[in-house]
Structure 1
Amino acid sequence: MRRRLLVGLIVIVGASGCTAPASLSDRDGRLQVVATTGLLRDLVRNVGGPRVNVTSLVPDGADPHSYEPSLRDVRNVVYADVAFSNYVMLEEHSVIRALDANLRPEAANVSLAEEAVKYAAEIIPLVEDVTLDTVWLGLRARGDGKARGANRASEVLLSMTAASGPGNVYGYLTGSFGDADVYFDSSDGFNPGDGYGDDTAILPSDAHTHMSWAFTRPGVYEVTLSARLRVDQRSRPVPLGESKFTIAVGVQPPDRPVQVDRGHADLTVDLDREQVYALFDPQGGGEKAQQVVPASDAVVVVPSKALSEIPAGFGFLGRPGDRVYQLAQAVLGKHVHGEIDPHLWQNVRNAMAYTQVIRDTLIEKDPEGAREYRRNAEAYLAELDALDRYVRAQIDEIPATRRHLITTHDAFGYLAQAYGVSVAGFVTPNPATEPSLADRRKLTETIRNLAVPAVFLEPNLAARSSTLTQVAGEQGIRVCPIYGDTFDGEVTTYVRMMRFNADSLRDCLR
């Protein structure tokens, strides 16, 4: 219900914006800019200087992957002259929707990661850690739906409309701090409604998300998923297809051409074909490695080893200590994303490309400030160039055999590629299950085999990283801080963040 109310709120405030002044620049003479994250806010501030008033939607310390915008955030969007998002699906979709639904038509709306490619930014594919010993079963919206008029603010609604079997079926996301966002729950019936129902997951077009699944009893289940597309908040959703999936839980699976029992699979809405089917790769690769499997040809296998106890805090599954069969999500946290790693700024050269996009956008909206924007950008680019050399120099002090990074969050692929660090693994224990002995053994063996002297935790995720800290303690190695995509009271600027990370890597791995 909270999601439904928020969407209505955004539309109402956006509609009222038509009576607002052209922008707050009419009041204080400054260009009004809204950025999605504090990191982008800092880049804009360095380029815009005193001519710009910039705010961020996602507060420092919050997770941009899951933050829901407030009324104050929407008001800032209504009055903005310019909006900067990272996009490539870094931000929670409701943040992007708040921008696109409430910006005035004449305001600039810039996706920095996409525009930065024109300024020589390098992008890399998102490689996820699918080391689970059961299939990772996610959801995907495939295709852009442009034939239907879809854009980045459009929503694909994937609803569970029927489920049969010996027990109840649940589909949910486990957040970075252990909170659960329940999308599918067969225990109370189904009511997808006209738009947002209690059993509906919402995705942008051409995106996928991690999911956890739970089944309360062994046996064969049949689950029906129906897909719809809502082009914008004024439109009624239109149907995209429906399919019935078979799931064998703790029993011999029925005879089907394809057993979905390992690797990476997504229950997929195809916006262009207007079909619902499974995408499956038993080796756990990305979308390009996945093959289309019609729902009638597939059986999803949940083995007996998936039996686990319900922990405290997950009462929607039953009483703590009761046992359920669970397919855990492969990566902790609410990450709805595409195939591109969105954390471009971990390579400082990419942040320099962002800076150039910001400079040229501000000049276009405020030509009178062109000289000042160019001067500020030139000075900041020189500072970033020195920062790039600093990060490289610190990591160069680490012997090549010790440049192994183990973290809680897959946010450092660009840092690894740009500065010669190996991502040995990112540890993302699912708090909806107790970490298995196999999970701990894999982590322990990785640390021992690579002689890793330290592991790294993002401060805002440290509270959910008990397995990593416990194993590090058992192995007598350090636990060191590293920052991914948010600031806090100690690290308040991008330059400070990257210097901090470089120093932490050097001190803890050298």
Structure 2
Amino acid sequence: MPTQKEPETLSIVATTPLIADMVENIAGDRAVVTSLIPLGADPHTFEPGLKAVRDTAHADAVFTNGLLLEQQSLTRTIAHTASPNTPVVALAEQLPRYGGALLPLVEDNTLDTVWLGLRVIADSGRTDVASGRMRINAQAADTPPGAALVAYTTSTFGAPEVVVDSRDSAQHTDIPLDAHTHLSWAATAPGYYSMTFAAAAGESAGVVASGGAPQRQYVPVASGTVNFAVGVDPYGHPAVSGTTPHVADAGHLDITVDEGQHTITLVGDPEAPHAPRPVFDPAQAVISVPAKTLTPIPPGPEYRFLYTQNNPQEAAEPHPQPAATGWRAWLSKLTGNRGQQQVYMLRQAVVGKHVHGDTDPHAWLDANNGEAYAQAIAATLSDIDPDNAAYYQSRLSRYRAQIQAADASLFAAVASVDPARRNMVTTHDGYGYLAERYGLKVAGVISPNAETEPSPRDVAAVSSALRDLKVPAVFIEPQATAHHATLIRIAADNEVATCPIFGDTLSPDDGVNSYLDVLTADAESIRSCLISPPQTIHDNTSND
């Protein structure tokens, strides 16, 4: 008597644990699901290893979030490793097809100096925007003697990565097309600087068989010189002598490569919704880095690139202090090390090595979008495994009902809060969808910047904001508690509680093991923390 054939098990890869959980809810026992990014890792900065390459190469389907949430090295690994017949589905980019909605990425710059990044606009005739890259480098056209101007990114956990260095014209960075990135800029001495930027488009020219990394040939696109006034009068810059330049001293501005126009310009944010972005000719503009930006060079060997002949490293820490940890270490650095050398700093306003487009990628925090994710997953699984399509659709129906119940819990939680108290202050700019869907207001995103030591002025500004907002709690992602000790301590000093909120990843230590757990835990945290005196997250960064 013939035996019934067992259903074949699919091999599915998802980029994040949260997406992997969604896939498991739809696939059930018909698939083995692997998350490329481990629990607790930051999806914005995770770098793939050989295991990710192997898992992707053998996958029957790959699910990503898309919208540049994932680090570009992971996106490229998937693009060049997945089989040509394997569907690679960017779930957030499928939302409009399944009734979901996307929000523009609103970057709330609370800095009182210009926030300067890099942006790339793709040629409108390109068909390979998703895989294209622009290589940008810079060299000094003019700097004060012995001085340097350096741009770098700072990861969520504080590691700097140099992008531009006036002392090294070979230093470069690759940026995806139609994306932009946040940078910190440090000048080692006051004076006038001019930097010439050059951009070249990366054209794919095959794949290296041994490592799977794409070989590219770079075609020059544009060049242009950008002027900086550091600690001096910006109108006195010799490059704009005899003119009335545009002085950029506040707001968001990007050094922008336009591939189609073959130009490098300075592009700002729209002054109103749907208004065009203002564009400035860098030859007629000056980036102002005022004297008030002078700040100590962060301690540690990873920041030695900021030292020059004007800032010798030997002088950085003339009075070594006993090791301290946690809040005491921060306070020691704040009040001690009087001989520490200084640089003029335009800060990276968003902590984390973010390269992103103009659409907020954190769409799953709107539960209606979570349903759309699930629908896109079920459709893909049904396409590659039609024999089990009815099974996937049945599980989808059940899962959508569970998401709808969690959605109702979030609405109920917010409805129970007095409208005057529906304010959120967080340490991450990823909660726009949560706020938009459920009627909350993101009243502040306070991210202690890992690249510089908090100054007394910084502490006073944050303390004042917490008092003025009159919110009972600050929301912090628990896995980042150790990296936000400053904010936790300031909140405690102002009798403002710190409460958990869950967004980018799961947190088994907090009982948050699934996407549904994220929604229900956030509902409970909002209810308990905005209505009544909440319990605080313990600060485990001190040895008290």
Cα distance per residue 1:21-57 (max 9 Å; x no partner): xxxxxx9921121111111101000001111111111
Tell me if the contact between 2:40 and 2:506 (Cα under 8 Å) persists in the aligned partners.
yes
- Find out whether 1:379 has 2:398 as its counterpart: yes
In structure 2, give the amino acid aligned to 1:154. G
| Residue type of the alignment partner of 1:180 | P
Q: Find the partner of 2:57 among 61, 68, 78.
A: 78
What is the aligned partner in structure 1 of residue 18 from structure 2? 39
Query: Is residue 356 of structure 1 aligned with residue 375 of structure 2?
Result: yes
What is the rounded CA distance, in whole Å, between the counterparts of 2:254 and 2:188 in structure 1? 22
SS across alignment from 1:140: strand
Q: CA deviation at 1:489?
A: 2.5
Q: Tell me which residue corresponds to 1:223.
A: 195
Q: Determine the structure 1 residue equivalent to 2:207.
A: none
Amino acid at match of 2:10: L
Q: Is the 8 A contact 2:98 2:375 kept in 1?
A: yes
CA distance in 2, matches of 1:458, 1:430: 16
72, 79, 87: which one aligns with 1:93: 72
Cα distance, 1:287 vs. partner?
9.8
Change (3 A) 1:266 1:85: same
Give 1:227-266 correspondences, 5 Å limit: 227-232=199-204, 233-253=214-234, 254=237, 255=240, 256-266=244-254
Q: Paired residue for 2:522?
A: 501
How far did 1:289 drift?
A: 5.1
CA offsets per residue over residues 420-463 of structure 1, 9 Å max, x none? 11111010122222224443333323322332111111123222
* Superposition TM-score, scaled by structure 2 size: 0.84
Does the alignment pair 1:156 with 2:134?
Answer: yes
Which residue in 2 is equivalent to 1:334? 353
Question: Are the aligned partners of 2:95 and 2:102 in contact in 1 as well (CA < 8 Å)?
Answer: no
Amino acid at match of 1:202: D
Residue number among 461, 477, 480 corresponding to 2:480 in the alignment: 461
Q: Aligned partners of 1:504 and 1:240: how far apart in 2?
A: 50
What is the SS of the residue equivalent to 2:125?
helix
Residue equivalent to 2:325: none
Q: Which residues in structure 2 correspond to 1:85-484 (within 5 Å)?
A: 85-143=64-122, 145=123, 147-166=125-144, 167-187=147-167, 189-191=168-170, 199-232=171-204, 233-253=214-234, 254=237, 255=240, 256-281=244-269, 290-313=277-300, 314-318=303-307, 319=313, 320=316, 321-484=340-503
Deviates more, 1:163-172 or 1:82-91: 163-172
Deviation at 1:164, TM superposition (A): 2.8
CA distance in 2, matches of 1:94, 1:281: 28
The aligned amino acid for 1:224 is T
Q: Which moved more, 1:346-355 or 1:94-103?
A: 94-103
**Mind listing any 5+ residue stretches in structure 1 that lack a counterpart?**
1-26, 192-198
Give the secondary-structure state (helix, strand or coil) at the position aligned to 2:437.
helix
Structure 1 residues 366 and 28: CA distance shift in structure 2, 3 A: closer
Residues 228 and 239 of structure 1 are in contact (CA less than 8 Å); yes or no, is this contact kept in structure 2? yes
**Paired residue for 1:20?**
none
Instruction: State the SS of the aligned residue for 1:380.
Output: helix
Q: One-letter code of the match for 2:277?
A: Q
Alpha-carbon distance change, 213 to 128 in structure 1, aligned in 2, over 3 angstroms: same
Map Cα deviations across residues 381-415 of structure 1 (whole Å, 9 max, x no partner).
11111111112112222221111110100111111
- Using the TM superposition, give the Cα deviation of residue 468 of structure 1 relative to its aligned residue in structure 2, in angstroms: 1.5
SS of 1:406 mapped into structure 2: strand
Q: In the alignment, residue 238 of structure 1 is paired with which amino acid?
A: V
Secondary structure of the residue that 2:508 maps to in structure 1? coil
SS in 1 for 2:260: coil
- Flag the structure with larger Rg: 2
The alpha carbon displacement at 1:248 in A equals 1.0
Moved more, 217-226 or 154-163: 154-163
Does the 8 Å contact 2:154/2:351 carry over to 1?
Answer: yes
Give the letter for the 2:220 counterpart: P
1:182 and 1:365, CA in 2 relative to 1: closer, same or farther beyond 3 A? same
Identity value in percent: 40
Give how far 1:281 is off.
4.6
Residues 153-162 or 431-440, more deviating? 431-440
Q: Distance in 2 between matches of 1:432 and 1:282?
A: 28
Matches of 1:477 and 1:304, distance apart in 2: 33
Deviations 1:288-318 (A, max 9, x none): 5531112211111111111111121322213
Matched position secondary structure for 1:94: helix
CA distance in 2: counterparts of 1:487 and 1:316, whole angstroms: 36
Give the letter aligned to residue 275 of structure 1.
T
8 Å CA contact 2:117, 2:180 repeated in 1: yes
Residue 292 of structure 2 aligns with an amino acid whose one-letter code is: K
| Structure 2: distance between partners of 1:205 and 1:250 | 34
Distance in 2 (CA, whole Å) between partners of 1:473 and 1:429 is 15
Q: Is the 8 A contact 2:270 2:278 kept in 1?
A: no
- The worse-fitting range, judged by mean Cα deviation, of 250-259 and 37-46 is 250-259
- For normalisation by structure 1, the TM-score amounts to 0.89
Amino acid at match of 1:300: I
| Structure 1 CA distance for aligned equivalents of residues 349 and 97 of structure 2 | 33
SS of the aligned residue for 1:268 comes to strand
How far does residue 130 in structure 1 lie from its aligned partner after superposition? 0.6
- Work out the CA distance in 1 between the residues paired with 2:277 and 2:456: 30
